[in-house]
A = this chain, B = another copy of it.
Amino acid sequence: VKRKFVPSLELVPRVLAGETPAIARLLSRAEAGHPECRDALARIYEHAGRAHVVGITGVPGSGKSTLVSVLAGLLRARGGKVGVVAVDPSSPWSGGAIMGDRIRMGDVAGDPGIFIRSMATRGALGGLARATLEAVDVLDAAGFGHVLVETVGIGQDEVEIAHATHTTVVVSAPGLGDDIQAIKAGILEVADVHVVSKCDRSDASRTIADLETMLALGHAAGWEAGWRSPVVGTSAVTREGFEELVSALDRHAAHLDGSDAGRARLRRIAEFRILKTAEELLRARFRHGRTGRVAELAARLAERRISPYAAGEHLLEVPERERTSP
């Protein structure tokens, strides 16, 4: 039985009323980048802006998915609805083959007040940032008080996405390999809150001490007027540290609320979003133009009869706008 196609604009009131099936359908269309849902997403955007959006990033093995699961459960226990958008190929939410680890899912499965969406990241098509931020909007507008955005802490786009939130949490863990440690050092600077997970391990205190030394030496920023990024140790096993983490998130939200720092943050998020949206429109123009002038440009570039900059300038100036709006 094929479901009747419901225009995206008709889904909007249902999404705003918090209806799960409508949320799921609009999210799928947004992720696929269907032009048909653009007007609906514009409406959604108008209604969003109330959720506390928290980016959670960390290298593979840092335990961020487990952290997200426990955190979502705690926030949910306070009464509000909690949304999770996972942009992480290793995330258990993505249904990867790896997870016998049902504990993670067990914390949150079956509660309609928690909605989890895993974004496909196999995207040679790009658009990861655009799709993720739209998913956040949909959950925000649907009344989810907290939206957690989980991304793997490697990759330019992935780190930028976690940073395009109100509060960015960077998760570290003891006992990772050297390759991973080196990568970890590169993302510390985006943290509003540092978490060291797996604090039931004996080597965790060393990880916390190292992190605090780095922060004290100023090697990992996390300072702005009125806010110093705290370091919180957590353990999903003993559940220690999670109340402190929730408290840190609340304090950061309060720090942003109505302040210059908060306005600057919203402005930075808006700038990032404009840029990413424009990039995606450019990609669409590019794809649609493949058989025409763009194909000609690519051929000339491949033959080295034009420079990359000149070709890029030409692409930006292709006069026929292949508008894909309905």
Residue of B nearest to A301 (CB): B270
Name which of A61, A128, A152, A308 has the most chain B CB atoms within 10 A of its CB: A308
Report which of B89, B189, B297, B308 forms a contact with A183, defined as CB distance below 8 A: B89
Q: From residue A28, how far is it (CB to closest CB) to chain B in Å?
A: 18
State the number of copies, please.
2
Report which of B281, B294, B299 forms a contact with A316, defined as CB distance below 8 A: B281
Chain B residues closer than 8 Å to A312, beta-carbon distance: 274, 276-278, 280-281
Q: How large is the interface on A (under 10, 10 to 19, 20 to 34, 35 or more residues)?
A: 35 or more
Contact status B60-A278, CB under 8 Å: no
Report which of B61, B123, B126, B155 forms a contact with A179, defined as CB distance below 8 A: B61
Q: From residue A199, how far is it (CB to closest CB) to chain B in Å?
A: 18
Contact status B183-A278, CB under 8 Å: no
Q: Which of A's residues lie within 8 Å of B, judged by CB?
A: 38, 41-42, 45-46, 48-49, 59-61, 89-90, 94, 96-99, 121-124, 126, 128, 130, 133-134, 152, 154-158, 160, 163, 177-183, 185-186, 189, 263, 266-267, 269-271, 273-283, 286, 290, 294, 297-299, 301-302, 304, 307-313, 315-316, 325
A-B pairs with beta carbons under 8 Å apart, 5 shown:
A42-B310, A46-B304, A122-B189, A267-B298, A275-B283
Chain B residues closer than 8 Å to A97, beta-carbon distance: 182, 185
Name which of A96, A152, A275 has the most chain B CB atoms within 10 A of its CB: A275
Interface residues of A: mostly helix, strand, loop or mixed?
A: helix
Task: Knowing A275-B282, A282-B278, A302-B266 are in contact, say whether A178-B98 is a contact too (CB < 8 A).
Answer: yes
Contact status B96-A180, CB under 8 Å: no
Residue of B nearest to A133 (CB): B308
20 more contacts with CB within 8 A, not counting A96-B185, A274-B294, A282-B316, are A45-B304, A45-B307, A60-B60, A60-B179, A89-B183, A90-B179, A96-B182, A122-B186, A128-B156, A154-B154, A154-B155, A266-B302, A271-B290, A273-B311, A274-B298, A274-B301, A274-B308, A276-B312, A278-B311, A281-B313
Contact status A311-B90, CB under 8 Å: no
